Amino acid sequence: MSTTKRKLALIGANGMLASAIRKLAPSEYLIQTYDLPDFDLTSRQQVLALRHSAPDIILNCAAFTNVDGCEEQRELAMRVNGGGPGLLAELANNIDAVLVHISTDFVFDGKKGRPYLEEDQPRPLSVYGKSKLEGERQILQSGLKKYFIVRTSWLYGAGGNNFVETIIRLATERKELSIVTDQLGTPTYTSDLATAIFQLLAVPPNTLPLTPYGIYHYSNEGECSWFDFATEIVVQLRTWQGVKVEHLIPIPTEGYPLPAERPKYSVMSKDKIRLAANLVIPAWQESLKAYFKQRNSKEDFS
């Protein structure tokens, strides 16, 4: 007996998170891919034309993700990260599709000192954070009912530039690495986030007291500084290959000045998504092990 597949329009399909989505999509999904240069999220005409492929779900992984680059290109950041999700919400409303949009811990200012809840007041410090918050706002104000906004943090995985790959490269090139120790957050492995998104999409709309739609936080479990994260990356890397690095030096944020201000503490509570989607969330150290395994396996790593 044949069942109808759920059509999922994957926006930003060539990016890092999207690569995990394509790899881990359950067989009931038919993935339709959209990315630059053929598809531009800032074009209202191109976005609304997606109605012709009649997706049941629109999953937005596209963004202007260069946090420091956003400081210089504020207008582009606002159009892609702010206006883009608004256009997708309009499309979703037109065709009665579910919109899944990915947002960030950088919507918070990092001053809370305890894990952020979904209802905590966002107060972004950077243009990137402001533009991502604008994307959330445009979805919320569109009147769309069937949406998931999933905020995540410190993302790494196959198919993209990320902190883990940077540390791996530097650890094989240099004897000393200086890493910021006064910013705390939680790393997130793209495969875990992709799995969580599909589990969230599998929640029947009428099983929870209210609808399952809304804002969710997802990262791996635990918290660490960039210094702790780099230390663990080097420890695990040593089990796979030789490294040149001998010393990791903890430094304050001021010791590594960047254009965009980052939150000092951006750990998020995952209680809401854990309950709603019945998730077991791996500790960040365990997920890093899984990433190294994926990286060193024969399977496609792109």
Give catalytic residue positions.
128
* Distance of closest approach, residue 77 Cβ to ligand NAP, in angstroms: 10
Nearest distance, CB of residue 61 and ligand NAP, angstroms: 5
Cα(first)–Cα(last) distance of the chain, in Å? 34
Question: By the criterion CB under 6 A, which residues form the site for ligand NAP?
Answer: 12, 14-17, 35-36, 39-42, 61-65, 80, 102, 104, 132, 152-155, 160
Rounded distance between C-alpha atoms, residue 237 and residue 127, angstroms = 34
- The least distance separating ligand NAP from the CB of residue 266, rounded to whole angstroms, comes to 9
Measured CA to CA, the distance from residue 175 to residue 249 in angstroms comes to: 11
Q: What angle do CA 123, 59, 188 make, to 5 degrees?
A: 60
Nearest-approach distance from CB 105 to ligand NAP, in angstroms: 6
Cβ neighbours for 249, distance < 8 A, ≥ 6 positions apart: 176, 177, 178, 179
Q: Which of 260, 270, 178 is nearest to 225 (CA)?
A: 178
By beta-carbon distance, which residue lies closest to ligand NAP?
15
For residue 120, CA distances in Å to 47, 155, 215 come to 31, 21, 11
Comparison of 162 and 231: residue with beta carbon closer to ligand NAP: 162
* C-beta closer to ligand NAP: residue 161 or 241: 161
- Judged by beta carbon, residue 23 or residue 243, the one nearer ligand NAP is 23
For ligand NAP, which is the closer residue by CB, 28 or 68?
68
Q: Say if residues 164 and 291 touch (Cβ distance below 8 Å).
A: yes
Least distance from C-beta 45 to ligand NAP, angstroms? 13
Helices 284-296/226-238 angle, 10° precision:
40
Count of residues in the chain: 302
Q: 42 or 287: whose CB is closer to ligand NAP?
A: 42
What is the chain's Cα-based Rg? 19
Q: How far is the CB of 137 from ligand NAP (least distance, A)?
A: 15
Beta carbon nearer to ligand NAP, 56 or 165: 165
Of 184, 292, 266, 270, nearest in space to 229 by CA:
184
Question: Is the torsion defined by CA of 138, 278, 188, 264 positive or negative?
Answer: positive
